[in-house]
Amino acid sequence: MNPSPETIAVAAILFVVLAAYALFGGADFGGGIWDLVAGGPERGADARELIDESITPVWEANHVWLVFILVLLWTAFSVAFAAIMTALFVPLSLSLLGIVLRGAGFAFRHTAQRLRVRQFTGATFAASSLITPFFMGTVVGAVATGQVPVHPGGNVLAAWTSPTAILTGFLFVAACAYVSAVFLVLEARQRGRHALMRYFALRATAAGAVTGGLAGGTFFELSRSAPYVYHRLTGISLPLVAISIAAGIAVLAMLWLRWYHPLILRATAAVAVVTVVWGWGLAQYPYLFPTSLTLKAGSAPVDTLDAEFIVAGLAVVLVVPGFALLYYLQQRGLLTEAESDADLRLAADLRGAGGGAGAGPDRPGAVEREPVGARIGVAAVLVTLAVRAIRNVFAPGSRRG
Partner 1 sequence: MTHVLAVSATSPVPARSQMGSSLGFHIILACFGVAFPAVIMTAEWIGIKRADPVAMLLARRWSKVMAVLVAVGAVSGTVLSYEMGLLWPGLMGRYGAAIGLPFSLEGIFFFLEAIFVGVYLYGWKRLSPWAHWWTGMPIVVSGILGAISVVAANSWMNSPAGYTLTNGTISSVDPVSVFFNPSTPYEATHMVLAAYMVTGFLVAGVYAVGLLRGRRDRYHRLGFGVPFAIAGIAAPLQVMMGDVLARFVAHNQPVKFAAMEYVSNTTSDAAEWLGGILINGHVYFGASIPAFDSILVGFNPHTRVIGWDSVPPAQRPPLDTLIHLSFDLMVGIGFFLFALAAWQGWWWWFHRRVLTTAWFLVPAALGGVAAVAAMEAGWVVTEVGRQPWIVYRVLLVNAAVTPSSGVTVTLAVILVLYAILTLVSIGVPMIMSRRWRREGPADEDAEQVPYGPSSAPASALGAGAGASRAEPRAPVGRAEAP
Closest approach, Cβ 289 to partner 1, in A, equals 13
Rg value, the chain, Cα: 21
- Interface residue with partner 1 among 8, 246, 307, 350 (CB under 8 A) is 307
56 touches partner 1 (CB under 8 A): yes
299 phi, psi to nearest 5 deg: -100, 160
| DSSP 8-state secondary structure symbol assigned to residue 357 | G
Q: Can you list the pairs that 12-17 forms with residues at least 24 positions away whose Cβ atoms lie under 8 Å?
A: 13/72, 13/308, 13/309, 13/312, 14/69, 14/72, 14/73, 14/76, 14/77, 14/281, 15/277, 15/278, 15/281, 17/65, 17/68, 17/69, 17/72
Contact 208, 250 (CB under 8 A): no
CA distance 226 to 291: 9
Which residues between 335 and 354 bind partner 1 (CB under 8 A)? 335-338, 340-342
**Between 62 and 237, CB nearer to partner 1:** 62
Instruction: Report helix, strand or coil for 326.
Output: helix
**Between 67 and 347, CB nearer to partner 1:** 67
**Between 46 and 306, CB nearer to partner 1:** 306
Pairing between β-strand 287-289 and β-strand 293-294 as defined by DSSP bridges: antiparallel
389 touches partner 1 (CB under 8 A): no
151 touches partner 1 (CB under 8 A): yes
Closest approach, Cβ 353 to partner 1, in A, equals 20
Residues, the chain: 401
213 touches partner 1 (CB under 8 A): no
**Between 337 and 370, CB nearer to partner 1:** 337
Closest approach, Cβ 375 to partner 1, in A, equals 26
CA distance 178 to 200: 10
285 touches partner 1 (CB under 8 A): no
- Interface residue with partner 1 among 264, 318, 378, 382 (CB under 8 A) is 318
161 touches partner 1 (CB under 8 A): no
**Between 245 and 311, CB nearer to partner 1:** 311
Closest approach, Cβ 291 to partner 1, in A, equals 20
> What is the torsion angle, in degrees rounded to the nearest 10, for the CA atoms of residue 119, residue 384, residue 234 and residue 275?
-10
**Between 334 and 348, CB nearer to partner 1:** 334
**Between 270 and 293, CB nearer to partner 1:** 293
Closest approach, Cβ 339 to partner 1, in A, equals 8
Stretches 203-211, 282-290, 296-304, 369-377: which one binds partner 1 (CB under 8 A)? 296-304
Instruction: Report helix, strand or coil for 373.
Output: helix
129 touches partner 1 (CB under 8 A): no
**Between 150 and 238, CB nearer to partner 1:** 150
190 touches partner 1 (CB under 8 A): no
- Interface residue with partner 1 among 41, 152, 208, 364 (CB under 8 A) is 152
Q: Is 212 exposed, middle or buried (0-12, 13-18, 19+ CB in 10 A)?
A: buried
Which residues between 68 and 97 bind partner 1 (CB under 8 A)? 68, 70-72, 74-76, 78-79, 81-87, 89-90, 92-93, 96-97
Q: Is 179 exposed, middle or buried (0-12, 13-18, 19+ CB in 10 A)?
A: buried
Q: Which of 360, 364, 390, 392 is nearest to 378 (CA)?
A: 360
